[in-house]
Structure 1
Amino acid sequence: MSAADEIIDIVDAEDRVVRQATRGEAYAEGLRHRCAFVLVRDAEDRIFVHRRTATKAVFPSRHDMFVGGVVGAGESYDDAALREAEEELGVSGLPRPVRLFSFLYESGSEAVGQGWWSWVYEVRCVLPVSPQAEEIDWHAFLTEAELDRWLAESADGGGRRWTPDGVDAYARLKAARA
């Protein structure tokens, strides 16, 4: 089964399930769904940063500071966060990610429709990572200062292109910790 054929929950503006659809239908019709974002830190407190593969349906070839993805039909955000983190990092035995906050990501772009409800998590990974090649084509662990510098360079029109939902979630995380 391809990712486009996966069944996911479609939700309303209050994150209540209203029906199910395939991921492909949700993307094509711009249906609101659920996602889990996981900020991964290593033993030295550096943040896992990666570039998504060019084959990703949403935000291909963009950099991101979160791993994660779409929550499956009937799956909890917590279970999706752990599943997605282990899959994308290529590890098993991660501690359960810590739930931090939720928000409704709305881009206003027809490409992503009504957006998605997002729970943001954090987890420490002391295991050696072997990122999933189908999802990630480059990765590194950066200090928070390095990541902030990369984001500032991109905001000035140069540098890397980032996933807008990841940038939004990261800004909310930094504001919550300020």
Structure 2
Amino acid sequence: MVEHVDEQDRVLAVVGRGEAVRRGWLHRIAVTVCRDSRRQVLVHRRSEQVSRFPGHYELMAGGAVAAGESYEEAAVRGMAEELGIDTTVRSVVKFLNRDGLSPHWLGIHEAVVLVDPKPRGDEVAWHGWLPESEMTA
């Protein structure tokens, strides 16, 4: 369950995530960019078994903010569920994103990760630390 929100990010109702996406209702997404002590970025390739964007590469981990959850709580949960990382996050920016599967408020966070990720195989097929200079390749 997620919160259907308005253009000021105020809660209108609690709905199923699938319904929010199908109807194009605004809801909340929280993601995190993970960096190591050398400022490299954790990149991962999504598993072929995931329902959204299977096999695609990503620079961020996360997903829908559950009803009653803050952006930061969702970001921490997303890293733990997808990458096996338990750490704190720092909020970077929040904005209204009208692109993608459906419109949503997107909260972007960053975290410094000093442990080896232990991603779930059903979520992540590959991961590695890359310097920003290699991101476009």
- The TM-score, its normalising length taken from structure 2, stands at 0.91
2:16: which partner in 1? Answer: 22
2:4: which partner in 1? Answer: 10
1:97: which partner in 2? Answer: 89
Gaps of at least 5 residues in structure 1 are 1-6, 151-178
Q: Work out the CA distance in 2 between the residues paired with 1:87 and 1:48.
A: 15
What is the deviation of 1:60? 2.6
Higher relative contact order by CA 8 Å / sep ≥ 6: 1 or 2? Answer: 2
Larger % of strand: which? Answer: 2
| Helix, strand or coil at the partner of 1:78 | helix
What is the deviation of 1:52? 1.6
Gaps of at least 5 residues in structure 2 are none
Letter in 2 for 1:138: W
Task: Name segments (4+ residues, structure 1) moved above 6 Å.
Answer: none
2:82: which partner in 1? Answer: 88
In the alignment, is residue 145 of structure 1 matched against residue 137 of structure 2? no
1:105-145 Cα distance to aligned partner (Å, 9 max, x none): 112x6xx23x1101111101111111122221111110011
Letter in 2 for 1:98: R
- The TM-score, its normalising length taken from structure 1, stands at 0.72
Larger % of helix: which? Answer: 1
What is the deviation of 1:28? 2.3
The number of aligned residues is 137
- RMSD (Å) for aligned C-alpha atoms: 1.5
Letter in 2 for 1:106: R
1:127-174 Cα distance to aligned partner (Å, 9 max, x none): 111112222111111001111x32xxxxxxxxxxxxxxxxxxxxxxxx
| Helix, strand or coil at the partner of 1:101 | strand
